[in-house]
Amino acid sequence: MTMPYPDSTPNAAPLILVTGAARRVGAEIARQLHAGGARIAVHYRHSADEAEILAAALNAARAGSAFTVGGDLARFGAAEAVAAGVLARTGRLDGLVNNASSFFPTPVGSIDRAAWDELIGSNLMGPLFLSQALAPALQASAGAIVNIVDIHAERPLARYPLYSAAKAGLAALTRALAIELAPAVRVNGVSPGPIDWPEDGQFAPEERQRIVDHTLLKRVGSAIDIARTVRFLMFDAPYITGQIIAVDGGRSAHL
């Protein structure tokens, strides 16, 4: 399915690339930003059909407001190809949301090169090289970057040392990019707590309940909680940069 090309004229609505946007939190971020008036580049890795369905729905709501772009951001060189593909179609970029992420346990003793490449690649390398490749376009538009970090970047999760380290790197990268790209580009992060549980059963029901019980608000959050915060940082926070907002129901307040 070929999506209409979004308008690339200078006065067009802002164009925002959301990585990992085909499903779950990423899809809700795309919907929220689109509802705020943005045009969306819907990035996906494997979920091409779901990405096309989402883009079609966005285009049905507002013609020519979305298109899809594929690429495995955990693979070296893919970020530059994704960036080139987006800019070839639009000629500009106003915002980048680095949401794409892999998440699985790697207890010490089990970590291998494949886990390193996947977790560091998707959670740190991809955002770094994508931000670098798109920095000139974002500087030209005085745009913004929002990175989806994790509360476990600062408080590591047991059995997930490599994922926690990758997200810690992304937290540092968020602040570093805010320095490097100032004053033209704002760079912030959102750190989710318990939002959407993994679909592969990584957390048993009793573990999920323990996590919820340790959350001050005593409930699981939703994808829209994250998406609304991303929308705020992208559209309504012109004097905020270099910050990471925890959206976790208070879980990190007493971890």
Catalytic residues: 163
What 3 state SS string does the chain have? CCCCCCCCCCCCCCEEEECCCCCHHHHHHHHHHHHCCCEEEEEECCCHHHHHHHHHHHHHHCCCCEEEEECCCCCCCHHHHHHHHHHHHHCCCCEEEECCCCCCCCCCCCCCHHHHHHHHHHHHHHHHHHHHHHHHHHHHHCCEEEEECCHHHCCCCCCCHHHHHHHHHHHHHHHHHHHHHCCCCEEEEEEECCCCCCCCCCCCHHHHHHHHHCCCCCCCCCHHHHHHHHHHHHHCCCCCCCCEEEECCCHHHHC
